[in-house]
Structure 1
Amino acid sequence: MDFEGLLSSRWSCRAYRDEQVAPELLEEIFAVAQRTASWCNTQPWQVLLTRGAATKRFAESLTAHVQANPPSPDLEMPAEYRGIYQERRRGAGFALYGALGIGRKDAEAKEAQMLKNYSFFGAPHVAVITTDRLQGTYGAIDCGAYVTNILTAARERGVATIPQAAIAVYSGHVREYFDLPDDRLVVCAISLGYADEADPVNGFRTERASVADAVQVLE
């Protein structure tokens, strides 16, 4: 598949089969992503990658924490969604709940679906991405580019993914659980594995704005 095909066909997987990705395949994915361009070649990203029982232990701990504690992000979360950003956010949510047959007023079902973020949707692996505190905003931007390359490299190899800011919302617990040093900030996580194609949650796709909506050409 060419580059355009990889980007066009990649989606955020929200249901996984109980099947590990081979260690050598994971190594390939992260080796490709390591070529990501970064500010002054700082390469500020560091990764904690779980597999098997380690993933399940982390999921259980994080889910329990989320149900009993307020958010504690390292990075500032969006203050508000307005205008087109709110429209896109709602559109993605409606598509998700529609695929699952969850009604707009079914708060209990929405809550249950939300909590699946913290069990990584059943993925066998989760990669927690951290940046160096002193690299500031540009360190986080570099990590965003790194995450994109992980997603694309995984797609090329038939591995499904979903980038998850939801994990970073509870950075305090992530930091404590993994005993992260103070100079590391939690940016996001990526769940990885093989998609459960039979699950209806994997049947919907989000839309993208046109180039004209995003790019202004000046002459």
Structure 2
Amino acid sequence: MIPATPQVTTVVTDSDSVDAAIASRFSCRAFHREQEVPRSTIEEILAVASRAPSGTNIQPWNVYVLQGASRDALVAKTCEAHDAVYRDPELAARYRSDLDYYPTKWSSPFIERRRENGWGLYGLLGIARGEKDKMHGQHQRNYQFFDAPVGLMFTIDKVLGRGSLMDCAMFMQNVMVAARARGLHTCPQAAWLEYAAVVLPHIGAGDNEMLVAGMSLGYADVGATVNRFHTPREAVGNFTRWL
């Protein structure tokens, strides 16, 4: 008899911990900058995450880890560009991404959920409608990695199809869950796509690569007001059909 592989024989006895790692994942928007994450821990997370499935096992993801000076330099460059676009919106055309993350035209129920999310966050932070400077400042927190000591950038090759975006997303989800298992928090960030033209040269990505997303990684600031913001989820019955 051919022996079974560990993937087949491993028994997950503590389902509560697995569920807790998934359910406690949220978009953390305030980290302790001074509390570094060891490289060995990051490598462990990425190794576990690499078990994510991918079509025909092509494993399309590339990961760039930014810490210290490289992280700080990207923050400075991107914040400068973000401020320039705020002053002159026409400059945004310089930074267009190859990936259209959001639809060009919103429809229900997605637009309502988006608005609920945005105004829920701003309301918690005391940012009222029309306070554009404050909104700009809060949006720029994305480009500061919310003070997380580690920034991750995920890319795939431009020649790949949309299925590879799904593969990369599953890999990213594994990263976030594995981080929770080690007491860390994350924030996946599509906001970096707005400045892909700044990010890609900085990280040394090839001309063949497309930015998929960024991610902040570190230890959460548990006392920060912004980290009290947690988004709701639809009931299973609202998105499931039993046949």
Distance in 1, matches of 2:82 and 2:126, equals: 25
The question of whether the paired residues in 2 share the 8 Å contact of 1:164 and 1:190 is answered with yes
The aligned residue for residue 108 of structure 1 is 133
Deviation of 1:175 after TM superposition, in Å, equals 1.8
2:39 maps to amino acid:
P
Deviation of 1:93 after TM superposition, in Å, equals 1.1
The aligned residue for residue 87 of structure 2 is none
2:120 maps to amino acid:
A
Residue deviations 1:129-153, cap 9 Å, x none?
Answer: 0012121211111101011110100
Distance in 1, matches of 2:185 and 2:108, equals: 31
The question of whether the paired residues in 2 share the 8 Å contact of 1:20 and 1:52 is answered with no
Deviation of 1:80 after TM superposition, in Å, equals 2.5
Percentage of pairs with the same residue: 35
The aligned residue for residue 15 of structure 1 is 30
The aligned residue for residue 101 of structure 2 is 77
Distance in 2, matches of 1:145 and 1:53, equals: 29
1:204 maps to amino acid:
F
Corresponding residue pairs, total = 218
Structure 2's unaligned 5+ residue stretches are 1-15, 85-90
Distance in 2, matches of 1:52 and 1:180, equals: 19
1:31 maps to amino acid:
A
TM-score by length of 1: 0.95
The aligned residue for residue 182 of structure 1 is 207
Q: How does 1:29-178 map to 2 (within 5 A)?
A: 29-68=45-84, 69-70=91-92, 71-78=95-102, 79-178=104-203
Deviation of 1:66 after TM superposition, in Å, equals 2.3
* Larger Rg over CA atoms: 2
The question of whether the paired residues in 2 share the 8 Å contact of 1:160 and 1:194 is answered with yes
Distance in 1, matches of 2:240 and 2:200, equals: 38
User: What secondary structure, in the 3-state scheme, does the structure 2 residue paired with 1:86 have?
Assistant: helix
Structure 1's unaligned 5+ residue stretches are none
User: What secondary structure, in the 3-state scheme, does the structure 1 residue paired with 2:42 have?
Assistant: helix
The question of whether the paired residues in 2 share the 8 Å contact of 1:46 and 1:131 is answered with yes
RMSD: 1.3
Q: How does 1:189-204 map to 2 (within 5 A)?
A: 189-204=214-229
2:233 maps to amino acid:
R
Distance in 1, matches of 2:177 and 2:161, equals: 25
The question of whether the paired residues in 2 share the 8 Å contact of 1:74 and 1:172 is answered with no
Distance in 1, matches of 2:217 and 2:143, equals: 13
2:107 maps to amino acid:
R
Deviation of 1:81 after TM superposition, in Å, equals 2.3
Distance in 2, matches of 1:139 and 1:116, equals: 29
Q: Could you list the structure 1 runs, at least 4 aligned residues long, displaced by more than 4 angstroms after superposition.
A: none
The question of whether the paired residues in 1 share the 8 Å contact of 2:101 and 2:190 is answered with no
Deviation of 1:195 after TM superposition, in Å, equals 0.8
TM-score by length of 2: 0.86
The aligned residue for residue 230 of structure 2 is 205
User: What secondary structure, in the 3-state scheme, does the structure 2 residue paired with 1:2 have?
Assistant: helix
